[in-house]
Chains A and B, each alone.
Chain A
Amino acid sequence: MIGLTDIEKRFGDNLVLKGVSVSLDEGSVTALVGPSGGGKSTLLRCINLLEIPTSGSLRIGSETLEFRPGGKVPAKDIQRIRLQTGMVFQNFQLFPHRTAIENVMEGLVTVLKWPEQRARTRALELLEKVGMAHKADAWPATLSGGQQQRVAIARALAPSPRVLLCDEPTSALDPELAQEVVDVLGQLAHEGTTMVMATHDLRLASKIAQEVVFLDAGAIVEKGPAAIVFDNPQRERTRRFIASLRQEAQGGAGGEKSKASS
């Protein structure tokens, strides 16, 4: 189980998360939705400690960390948490100087000290899972955005994390390429991968997520099963936001064009 309790995050005077508590079951998929600047990404980044929460506590499996303002978190603890989380970034962030398979092997070889051959075998399995085995030896720069993101998903899964964190995994992609990524994430969800994703992509969220957390201005407005939050939101704020996402999605395929002409 993954639990966030009373997480606060402050950047200078700016309180970005105002005491957020969420708990996620093993095997569940949770979508964090909400307007930009609402704190989705920050919350996600607090789970793998790319941002250290100002206060609150974080539990992943049997590991628990408490945060205090001004307190320093030991590097060992940070690394223990990070090894139990995998992260997929909006703009992929593959290592450009390593081939697709080397990207996936990197954590296994450098961090977990696996022997090269074992890491290669594992990496190839993962590339197969995301449908990228045929591009194992390609440089990232030669791959499409969707392909890069699929390799990035394999890289994040390599150390068998307890939870896969996805920060807007499809928003840098056009709809067609986004679909490849949605399909891969859907398949992972189906296999029981625990996931948390910050997303604007209604297609992604409604297809994969069982749970939805709606964040606005650093606080949870509403959370619950995806079917309820998406189809019958209880709060006016959520209703307005979901309606605006729907509208955008209906603009759909011709979205770019209609924006240009309007």
Chain B
Amino acid sequence: MEEGFVPHWLQLMLESLPTLLWAALIFTVPLTLLSFALGLVAGLITALIRLFGPKPLVMLVRFYVWIFRGTPLLVQLFLIFYGLPSAGILLDAFPAALIGFTLNIGAYTSEIIRAVIGSVPKGQWEASYSIGMTWSQAMRRTILPQAGRVAVPPLSNTFISLVKDTSLAAAITVPEMFQAAQRIVATTYEPLILYIEAAALYLALSSVLSALQARLEVRLNRYGGFLEANA
């Protein structure tokens, strides 16, 4: 392209955009979605154990939450990817990142899920039992749907943090979007331009999630929430 017609910075951004988008598409987005989905499952199981499980298991999951909330995510990733091989457990970078993010998300979301399950009025359990439901039917049909509505804002927070935190996977050699930017910087010596571009792409991703959150909230709020709250 002719010099002066398109500014240098814009040209560099446009040229590197496909590389960054590709890295986002095959690493950042799958890593985010997979570890959030698996982390939610881990969080739900953890929360149910904490609320209803036998004492020894409760102690175990409390220990898990304590460790994973109390240590830096970057250190957790390093331990899994660089540390575990010394114990004979050798993982590829992507699975190592996936495990680290999943366990971390599980610890954080378990606290959210525990709180929102507890926020559903006790009478809803009784109403479910009174029509003959079992514990698991009541949980599935009555409690979780109502708890889910309350959980959307805090879970969205965690989700949006996760999108950005996947950039930490660059440190354990996962070629996700931020690492792609770093590589381009290594050949072009234009850190300011490339990192602004990467930041803008993360911002775009989290904006999409915020918009989805808003739509989900509208949909889940259509029935008006807990009845007692409006009484």
Contact = CB atoms under 8 A, between A and B. Distances in A.
A50 B126 contact: yes
B137 A96 contact: no
A165 to B, nearest CB: 8
Interface in A92-114: 92-98, 106-107, 110-112
B131 A106 contact: yes
Nearest to B225: A96
Interface string B127-152: 11111111001000110011001000
A141 B130 contact: no
A142 to B, nearest CB: 7
Interface residues of B, number: 27
A110 B126 contact: no
Nearest to B126: A50
A91 B228 contact: yes
Contacts, number: 81
B224 interface: yes
A82 B129 contact: yes
Contacts of B142: 95
B225 A141 contact: yes
B211 interface: no
Contacts of A86: 130-131
Contact of B230 (A92, A141, A159): A141
A50 B225 CA distance: 25
A140 B231 CA distance: 11
Q: Is the interface of B mostly helix, strand, loop or mixed?
A: helix
A139 B141 contact: no
Interface residues of A, number: 33
Contact of A139 (B124, B131, B224, B228): B224
A50 B138 CA distance: 14
Interface string A158-174: 11000000000000000
Interface in A209-231: none
A156 B132 CA distance: 10
A106 B133 CA distance: 9
Contacts of B121: 93
- Of A83, A86, A89, A106, chain B has the most CB atoms within 10 Å of the CB of A106
B227 interface: yes
Interface of B: 121, 123-124, 126-134, 137, 141-142, 145-146, 149, 222-228, 230-231
16 contacts: A48-B130, A83-B132, A85-B130, A86-B131, A87-B130, A89-B126, A89-B130, A93-B126, A94-B127, A106-B141, A140-B223, A140-B227, A141-B224, A148-B227, A155-B131, A159-B131
